[in-house]
Structure 1
Amino acid sequence: MLPNYLKRELSILFFVINKKQTTADEISQSLNFSKRIVKENLLIINKHFTEYLSIENFILSKKTGIITVRPELRTNAVSYAYHLKLFLLKNNVLFNYCVLLVTSDTIEKSQILEKLFISPSYLHKLTQRLNTFFDPFDFKIIRANHLYSLEGNEMNIRLFTYLFLQDSFQDLEWPFPTISIESLHNKVPKELLEEAFKRPHTKNRTMDIISAVLQIRISKNHYVHPPKSIAIQTFFTLVQDSFDITVPFQKWYSSPIPETDKKVEIQYLNFLSHIFISDIVPKKEKIKLGKLFLGHDHSFCTLSRDILLSSIHIENFAVAKEHQYLCMYYLTFLNAFYFLVGNAIYPIISLFIPSPTFHLHIQSKYLTAITDKIAPIVDNVDHRTLIATALYTLFTSKKSAQIKIYLQMIKDFTASYFIENRLLSLYNPSSVIITDDYSLADIIVTDTLERGDPSKKVFYLDSVNNKESWQELIHLIQQSYLEQQGLQNEIN
């Protein structure tokens, strides 16, 4: 739906803000743009920040080739980026047309023309373009009696609407012109509103958007249909009977909705909530569901179990039962979601800027090994790629590196004891180790001149009471840990 130039600008912007520093080469290689395009777009992005947010030189490009966010802006860089993203989106007429369609059940042609400041012929062209974009989602814009509305696969209409609005507006603006947040909260039981105070503002806004979407669609009798697949139907029931997270939304399923439609509605919502608002599911419930899936004979569970058992021992490291259960939880839901939406899964993923972690473009021997292991089990190449990438993320999350530190404090004979205890209070002792063997050390901490092995990182700590030096040492340890962990993932 968005023009390529805008997707390119946003991709580069979010790449830069997610790095402490980067280079044009790294951006070019990671995003597959030429260095010339990268440099041109960095200038354009800075112009946008000046024009829309009155921020000069948001991104700095140094003579050394280092590219970074201006240091004093780094703390709020993500917020600035999302504000700019929304400004740019709202300057796009196709985006605005889409917002009008998804935030109301029907809208008059005259309203669209007035709000978008366009001609009827241009509206016709925009409608054709949007229908082409909506085609993989199996719904389209219907025109009848000068009224425009969305019709087709009801689940996909709701899913698209939620993802589109949540990713675009976040909690920066409320996108529904005819529904207020207050009116939604008035229908929520008092005890559930009290629970809202325990959640972050963005998560509450996410749940408000879901509630508004449900109100718009259900109030006009647009109900989801039961899945055609028996496997999906029975999996919905299995999940619903095990853990129901739809209580905050069930106010929209009161009479006069037929009971059979209500049951299907709640099962869909419960299933999709596990995927798209998964962090409201307590970890202990995910573990319980994963344990249930590991021993269940449902076809989605057996597929996930076969995938997990075939790939989990590529590495010779112990995998705790709890981690196996969590892997089963995520794998089974991802497999079920793939079978539910089919070819629409990649258009759905493409709605996110930047892409979600289970769809990162990664190249490593470890990922290749996972892909090869599950190939006999997962025939479809797209499905296999999706699952392999998810497994890579799940497995590498539990991989640990070891940073060995050699202490050489000559001026203060109590300093080594102090540093060791301070580091052990900050880090897991299996991850950061104080060693007496200089040859094994990754980092040398010293208070004097050290002309050692150039492959080792030497850190000068003049005093254990120097707060700035401590911060730099902690950063060096964390950086070394991540470098070593990344190297492991690449080699393995």
Structure 2
Amino acid sequence: MLIEARKKELLVLQMVIQKNNCSLQELSNDLHIPKRTIKELIRKINVSLKQFLLIDEFIYSNHKGEIQTKETDQTKKLAVFSKLKLCYLKESNRFNYLMLLINYPQTAVPKKYLLEQLYISPSYLEKLTKQLNHSLKKFHLRILSVKNCCTLEGNELSIRLYLYFFLSDTFGGNDWPFSSLELNALKMNSTDEQIEKISKQEKNIYLLLTLFILRNKQQAYFPKTSSEITELMDLLQHTHDYSEYFTSFSVSRPCEETETERAYFNYFFYCFFPNQISFRQKQEIGFLFSTSKNLICRQVGQLMTYLTQQFPLNHLENKIPIYFYFLVLAVVFFELLGESSSSFSTLCFPEATSNHSSSFIQEKKLREKIDTIFSKNGERNQISQYLSQLIQHLLQTETKEQLLIHLQITKQFTGNYHLQSHLQQLFRKDAVKITAYSEHADLIITDQHEKISDETETFYLDTTHNTVLFGELIKAVHELYMKKGYENKTKRM
């Protein structure tokens, strides 16, 4: 929804924030933008930050010619980025058009109202509608223009998912997107100061709640689900019901519609706020799924049998409830969304992280197995693609590798002791172990500029600047640990 010039500015700002300090040449190389253009974009960013956020010279160049930011705290820097992004979006007619559709009391918004609010001509409104529809198409949504009104059309689940992801990403907890229902109306008995301190995650819960309230007021409801999905949603509610958020503000309507809306809100809560659900609760629900005769649970049971046979070293028999929990929720997600599931799945499910041929072969086998098990379910290819990615992600968390490190620090008075103590404080013993034998090591850390081994990776630590390099060392240890874990996992496949 942003013009290209604004996108470039945000791209440069994001890169500067991520790198902490870098040169114009580095930025130019990474972004494939000429240095002169980078310099001009930085100037424009600083002008915008002063104009919108009253921040002077946020990006500057130090005496070494390194590009840095005035703010050093990463969280605060990211907050500046998201606030500026929102300011730029509010300049966009497409963004403001969509926000008017979201906030209007009815689903059908009069064109006259849109023209007055946006200060545009009917022909330009038509142009904006076409541009937005181009973006919405991949989510199987569109803005329909009928009888002098514009309406956001599509599957109700897709509409709410799209609006939730769009608004939570755009506003990022910095601002409240709804003009028709303020946050303090939802957080009754809370002072302005308390509302200001609400966490981003809690704000997103109220954002989801407000979407439900507004869509219900617009008389836009969910269709009835299949008996299998209804049964699983009921099980979730009977175990831990989070729909009380919604029930307190639900508008009067037939009981069946109320129950359906509550069930969906509760299901969304489990999906979008996983950290609000304790590990014990996840295990409890996963166990109930594993013992259920529900068709989806039985299909996941077949998949779990296959996984425990294929990955015996992961001891998945001890993890069955937690795997059931995530896999059943995921299958329900695909079943509900149908043909539009691929558009939303990229926002929810981790991507595969390896291009190794052995990993590709194993993933192909896994996807074929998923296709066989879920052959009667709709959108089979999408289920197999994203379920296999979710499974690989879960399997990686179970991998228990040990990285062996050999130390040869000779220039410091304390020798290896200082660095060894540091590493043991930062890493678990079962993850990183110090070995006296360089031939057994996965990584050698030394302050000697000589080749110790041709086969083993070596990190040269300049002990006169070890504070600066220690961060790079920790990063190298972490990357090597992940690499070893993935290589060993693909060997087992």
Q: TM-score normalized by structure 2?
A: 0.78
Q: Which residues of 2 match residues 456-471 of structure 1 at below 5 A?
A: 456-460=457-461, 462=463, 471=471
User: Does structure 2 retain, via aligned residues, the 8 Å contact 1:367–1:392?
Assistant: no
Are positions 1:39 and 2:33 aligned together? yes
Q: Offset of 1:467 from its aligned partner?
A: 5.5
Listed as ranges, the gaps of 5+ residues in structure 2 are 51-55
CA distance in 1: counterparts of 2:183 and 2:481, whole angstroms: 44
Q: Which residues of 2 match residues 180-191 of structure 1 at below 5 A?
A: 180-186=182-188
From 197, 206, 209, the equivalent of 1:208 is 206
CA distance in 1: counterparts of 2:97 and 2:469, whole angstroms: 54
Q: Which residues of 2 match residues 72-91 of structure 1 at below 5 A?
A: 75=74, 76-91=76-91
Q: Offset of 1:426 from its aligned partner?
A: 2.6
- What is aligned with 2:430? 430
From 364, 372, 376, the equivalent of 2:365 is 372
Relative to structure 1, the CA distance from residue 402 to residue 466 in structure 2 (aligned partners, 3 Å threshold; closer, same or farther) is same
Are positions 1:223 and 2:221 aligned together? yes
Q: Offset of 1:368 from its aligned partner?
A: 4.0
Q: Offset of 1:483 from its aligned partner?
A: 4.2
Relative to structure 1, the CA distance from residue 127 to residue 466 in structure 2 (aligned partners, 3 Å threshold; closer, same or farther) is closer
- What is aligned with 2:243? 246
Q: Which residues of 2 match residues 10-49 of structure 1 at below 5 A?
A: 38-39=32-33, 43=38, 46=42, 49=45
User: Does structure 2 retain, via aligned residues, the 8 Å contact 1:314–1:369?
Assistant: no
Moved more, 201-210 or 240-249: 240-249
- What is aligned with 1:387? 387
Listed as ranges, the gaps of 5+ residues in structure 1 are 28-34, 61-66
User: Does structure 1 retain, via aligned residues, the 8 Å contact 2:57–2:70?
Assistant: no
Are positions 1:115 and 2:117 aligned together? yes
Provide the secondary structure at the position in 2 that maps to 1:317.
helix
Q: Which residues of 2 match residues 29-428 of structure 1 at below 5 A?
A: 38-39=32-33, 43=38, 46=42, 49-53=45-49, 75=74, 76-106=76-106, 107-131=109-133, 133-134=135-136, 140-141=142-143, 146-150=148-152, 153-186=155-188, 201-227=199-225, 229-253=226-250, 256-315=252-311, 317-321=313-317, 323-349=319-345, 355-359=347-351, 363-364=355-356, 365-378=358-371, 379=375, 380-408=380-408, 415-416=415-416, 419-428=419-428
Q: Offset of 1:264 from its aligned partner?
A: 0.9
Offset from partner CA, 1:146-196 (integer Å, 9 cap, x none): 5544455333332222221111111122211232211121289x9xx99x9
Q: Offset of 1:110 from its aligned partner?
A: 3.3
CA distance in 1: counterparts of 2:125 and 2:369, whole angstroms: 49
CA distance in 1: counterparts of 2:352 and 2:11, whole angstroms: 13
Offset from partner CA, 1:310-347 (integer Å, 9 cap, x none): 24554452335554332221211111110111111233
Q: Offset of 1:51 from its aligned partner?
A: 4.7
Relative to structure 1, the CA distance from residue 200 to residue 442 in structure 2 (aligned partners, 3 Å threshold; closer, same or farther) is farther
RMSD (Å), alpha carbons = 4.4
User: Does structure 1 retain, via aligned residues, the 8 Å contact 2:222–2:260?
Assistant: yes
CA distance in 2: counterparts of 1:447 and 1:390, whole angstroms: 41
Relative to structure 1, the CA distance from residue 486 to residue 16 in structure 2 (aligned partners, 3 Å threshold; closer, same or farther) is farther
CA distance in 2: counterparts of 1:428 and 1:363, whole angstroms: 29
Relative to structure 1, the CA distance from residue 133 to residue 425 in structure 2 (aligned partners, 3 Å threshold; closer, same or farther) is closer
CA distance in 2: counterparts of 1:458 and 1:128, whole angstroms: 55
User: Does structure 2 retain, via aligned residues, the 8 Å contact 1:100–1:112?
Assistant: yes
Q: Offset of 1:77 from its aligned partner?
A: 4.6
Relative to structure 1, the CA distance from residue 4 to residue 362 in structure 2 (aligned partners, 3 Å threshold; closer, same or farther) is farther
Offset from partner CA, 1:128-154 (integer Å, 9 cap, x none): 444565566566545577554445533
Aligned residues: 467
Provide the secondary structure at the position in 1 that maps to 2:249.
helix
Offset from partner CA, 1:242-285 (integer Å, 9 cap, x none): 2222222321236x232222111111111122212222222221
User: Does structure 2 retain, via aligned residues, the 8 Å contact 1:294–1:305?
Assistant: yes
Provide the secondary structure at the position in 2 that maps to 1:222.
coil
Provide the secondary structure at the position in 2 that maps to 1:406.
strand
Q: Offset of 1:433 from its aligned partner?
A: 0.8
| Paired residue type of 2:33 | K
User: Does structure 2 retain, via aligned residues, the 8 Å contact 1:408–1:446?
Assistant: yes
User: Does structure 1 retain, via aligned residues, the 8 Å contact 2:100–2:114?
Assistant: yes
Offset from partner CA, 1:5-56 (integer Å, 9 cap, x none): 9889878976886678999xx99xxxxxxx9984379949656634533687
| Paired residue type of 1:181 | L
Provide the secondary structure at the position in 2 that maps to 1:176.
coil
| Paired residue type of 2:245 | P
Relative to structure 1, the CA distance from residue 309 to residue 138 in structure 2 (aligned partners, 3 Å threshold; closer, same or farther) is same
User: Does structure 2 retain, via aligned residues, the 8 Å contact 1:109–1:148?
Assistant: yes
Moved more, 133-142 or 161-170: 133-142
Relative to structure 1, the CA distance from residue 224 to residue 59 in structure 2 (aligned partners, 3 Å threshold; closer, same or farther) is farther
Provide the secondary structure at the position in 1 that maps to 2:370.
coil
Q: Offset of 1:376 from its aligned partner?
A: 3.6
User: Does structure 2 retain, via aligned residues, the 8 Å contact 1:404–1:442?
Assistant: yes
